[in-house]
Chains A and B, each alone.
Chain A
Amino acid sequence: MTTLAPGAADAFRTILGPERVLDAATERIIYARDGSIADGVCGLALLCETTDEVSRCMAAAHRMGVPVVPRGSGTGLCGGAVPLDGAVVLSVARMRRILEIDRDVPCAWVEPGVLNLDLTAAVAHLGLHYAPDPSSQAACSIGGNVATNAGGPHCLASGVTVQHVLGVELVLPDGEVLTIGGPAPDPPGCDLRGFIVGGEGTLGVVTKACVRLTRNPPAVRTMLFDFTTTHAAGACVVDIIGRGVIPAAMELMDSRMIDACEGFTGAGLPVDAAAVLLVEVDGTEADVAAQTDVAVAVARESGTRCVRIAQDEAERALLWKARKSAFGAVARVAPNYYLHDCVVPRTRLVEILDAIGEIARRHDLLVMNVFHAGDGNLHPLIAFDRRDAAQVDRVMAAGKDIVEACVAVGGVLTGEHGIGLEKRDYMPLTFGAVDLDAQACARAAFDPEGRMNPRKVLPMTARCGEAVLGPDSLPPGTWI
């Protein structure tokens, strides 16, 4: 473990006071993990409340050569907020103010600790919402969403986080504060804003974000189709889009997941189905009617056993509750789960589901599926018990097989969770050494010393000319 410079804690206490620099072992351990299954070691946790505090802490870390890991709500699933080797964790969770809402854009400037769903709640009276809606939206922060370029079911038609971030305030690793972008579109120069979104905390600390707000659609229709085979459900997805309809959301659940969710929420899901599709269309009344006609017709041709259309907002909310509580519902099945996140071309969905089923059988594991079928974004979930070491080994091996199977059909490593620590060493599956070195150089343009969230995203072999990281910074095998 890296030993922090002597006096590091005191230097930060000078800035934040004694209460907001956590160095007790019982406090640090909380900041050593996130929503993934990775464990790290947190040297100190800093609870910043203003941009100025973040800037001064970053400048102090720069002077002392201390690595810094930014953290929002800590719900991330790829180990992105897990500190390695006793790095300092800089939490922005207390920066929770919505600073400005401009309904004429419409957009809002928010601090990074604002929770995703709180923002939508705060603008609901204006007929607006914040479009990206990760399943964790009640707990995850906008800052974390920006770091991972988060997605969600409704990103199928409306796009992921980067399409909803107009600008950011970024504190660079040396403490300099930049405002990049804002509501005025296409500022001169290259699009640093777009590059910072998805930067996974390796480029600096985002201390404000200007996010686009979206008008609530005048009409919404939510449909549930159920199928006796996952093949039929997968084919239905391809055909709906093939007929020129891009639904607002199109989610697929397999039988095991249906069972768990139904037991958890009692939404009336058909527990004897092999798969259900939750399809939501929105827009004008005319548009919704046209899209609904196509979706229902295709579902019938694909062999759905029934067409359930939510009759009111309460029923719609219940269906979505069933979908969004999927991960919590897994607790009924096993104490732990490992949630994967890969994307395949939509046309390869059926075959990849078969391949994942085969991988689960081969490793004798329980895999459940609930995912954003419309954009081919798979979330195979492996339920397991981490007290069983042999099972954990099989979980990791199966995870690797799943990633490789997705890549083999033209897929990518992650659709919305990020690379972080989890998939860092899979990066060479889809990128060559030249590609990865170029990414290291782009990262170094922000963080020449490699002190921000070190050893995340890029494998240790990726280098920008001269070594970005010190020679003693080898991976410590802290993964799981």
Chain B
Amino acid sequence: MDLTPAVTPGDRDECAAALADATGAGRSTRVVGGGSASHRGVPLTADQVLATAGLDRVVTYEPADLTLTVEGGVPAARVTELLAAHDQVWPQAAFRPGATVGGLLATADSTFSRLRWGPIRDSLLEVVIATGDGRLVRAGGRTVKGVAGYDLPRLVVGAHGTLGVLVEVTLKLWPAPAASGWYTLAGDAPTLVQAARTVTREVYRPGAVLLTPGALCVHLLGAADDVTAPAGMEATQGPPSPQWDATVQVGVSPAHIGDLVTLLAGHGDEYVAQAGVGICHVAVHDADDVDRVRALATGLGGHAYVTAGPPEVRRDPWGAPPPGIDVMRRMRRAFDPAAILNPGLAVWDAPGDRV
């Protein structure tokens, strides 16, 4: 996508001012963090790019309180490094090379080991956003627990920056587990589905139970004595990290993940399915492929959307509008009244929705 020119605010006030200007001028704005998730949504061009690279300060790190406050443009890798020095982790975030903290939150990109840690949205305690019309809005609180006011932090996680730019976030941290390890088992799909069911039932709180074509991968973490190979499995380096040109993320009830895997395997698809969670990433090759995988997902009561892929794959990236779409649209207008933020990136953002 050819996008010019770029704005790189150096702090939150500059960010808010740039957005106020953009709203005043009706200039659509693509927000970019590390650029690691920029191939999603309806392929629409924006009038300008706003890069969060200048919002790169660590504000406060309180190891004893297990909280970290950083600006949204801080690379996630820097956070990992900072926490490692205190034997702590931000475990809910996916590993996405080059990603920023704000980018991971905006895309709600949760870790493979979500079965143990929960989704990334559970880690955001407080947020400051710069809204589309240039207000700086703070919500949540910096303590590890709190229910004061409406939960805007949860709303912005996964909103793809369409409610505002995440200029500052406070994250809930966890002590690093004493030990962790990955284990694998080879076999055909029915065997692996059965094995995954056994592991999720018999192992107490595994990190991840991943089904891929031909292999089951299990992540264990906790006390050293608990991190040993489950029966019949052998140690491996880490989770599968397939490189695909285009990816669909499917969500089904965890009760149906085995059915989904059976269907995908029958078609010869490549996939990484999270047993116990219900998320499955599937490699796709064209827009028809997206429709086919989506039909499987909806047939099982789930949904499917494109999380990466060239424009031609993203003909219909989101599928049918979800329940509550009108509330979401009103919410978007409340924060970005001129609808300048991230054209095409929100599920409700059909081109005709532009104000």
Contact = CB atoms under 8 A, between A and B. Distances in A.
A283 B165 CA distance: 39
A190 B204 contact: no
Contacts of B321: 189
Interface string A175-198: 000111011111111111011011
Nearest to B143: A343
B84 interface: no
A117 B224 CA distance: 34
A377 B145 contact: yes
Interface stretch (B7-15, B47-55, B174-182, B231-239): B174-182
B20 interface: no
Contacts of B176: 244
Interface in A319-364: 343-347
B308 to A, nearest CB: 15
A251 to B, nearest CB: 14
A186 B255 contact: no
Given A149-B147, A182-B253, A186-B249, A286 B225 contact: yes
B293 interface: no
A304 B278 CA distance: 45
Interface string A410-430: 111111111100010001001
B207 to A, nearest CB: 13
Contacts of B81: none
Interface stretch (A21-29, A86-94, A435-443): A435-443
Given A102-B253, A283-B204, A457 B335 contact: no
B301 A184 contact: yes
Contacts of A414: 146-148
A189 B324 contact: yes
B142 A155 contact: no
B219 interface: no
Interface in B170-212: 174-176, 178, 204-205
A444 B330 CA distance: 8
B335 A441 contact: yes
A438 B139 CA distance: 9
A194 B151 contact: yes
Contact of B335 (A183, A415, A432, A438): A438
B145 A376 contact: yes
Interface in B300-355: 301-303, 305, 318-319, 321-325, 327-328, 330-331, 334-335, 346-348
B138 interface: yes
Contact of B327 (A217, A415, A446): A446
Contact of B147 (A160, A436, A439): A160
B139 to A, nearest CB: 6
Interface in A198-237: 198-199, 215, 217-218
A434 B131 CA distance: 11
B142 A162 contact: no
A188 B318 contact: yes
Would you list the 6 A-B pairs with minimal beta carbon distance, nearest first? Answer: A194-B154, A412-B141, A244-B175, A441-B334, A104-B255, A286-B225
Contacts of B63: 242
Interface residues of B, number: 79
Given A345-B143, A438-B131, 13 more contacts: A104-B254, A178-B327, A188-B318, A191-B121, A191-B159, A194-B121, A195-B155, A284-B222, A287-B222, A287-B223, A411-B143, A430-B141, A458-B149
B318 A416 contact: no
A162 B122 CA distance: 9
B230 interface: no
B155 A435 contact: no
A380 interface: no
Given A185-B278, A438-B334, A432 B138 contact: yes
Nearest to B152: A442
A464 interface: yes
B27 interface: no
A189 to B, nearest CB: 4
A378 to B, nearest CB: 11
A70 to B, nearest CB: 16
Interface string B81-123: 0000001000000000000000000001010000000110110
Interface stretch (B29-37, B64-72, B263-271): B64-72
Interface of A: 102, 104-105, 148-149, 151, 155, 159-160, 162-163, 172, 178-180, 182-192, 194-195, 197-199, 215, 217-218, 238, 241-242, 244-246, 283-284, 286-287, 289-290, 343-347, 372, 375-377, 410-419, 423, 427, 430-432, 434-436, 438-439, 441-446, 448, 457-458, 464
Contact of A191 (B137, B145, B157): B157
B259 to A, nearest CB: 11
Contacts of B240: none
Nearest to A429: B148
B64 A346 contact: yes
A43 B64 CA distance: 50
23 contacts: A155-B145, A179-B323, A183-B253, A183-B254, A189-B325, A190-B159, A191-B159, A194-B121, A194-B151, A194-B154, A198-B147, A284-B225, A287-B222, A343-B141, A345-B142, A347-B65, A418-B147, A427-B148, A427-B149, A436-B149, A438-B135, A442-B152, A442-B334
B233 to A, nearest CB: 17
B139 A439 contact: yes
Contacts of A442: 150, 152, 155, 331, 334-335
Given A284-B226, A445-B334, A190 B178 contact: no
B323 A180 contact: yes
A412 B67 CA distance: 14
Nearest to A160: B145
Contacts of A155: 145
Contacts of B159: 190-191
Contact of B148 (A199, A215, A347, A412): A412
Contacts of A162: 151, 154
Contacts of B65: 345-347, 376
Contacts of A410: 142-143
Contacts of B334: 438, 441-442, 444-445, 464
B338 to A, nearest CB: 14
Nearest to A216: B204
A415 B149 CA distance: 11
A242 B139 contact: no
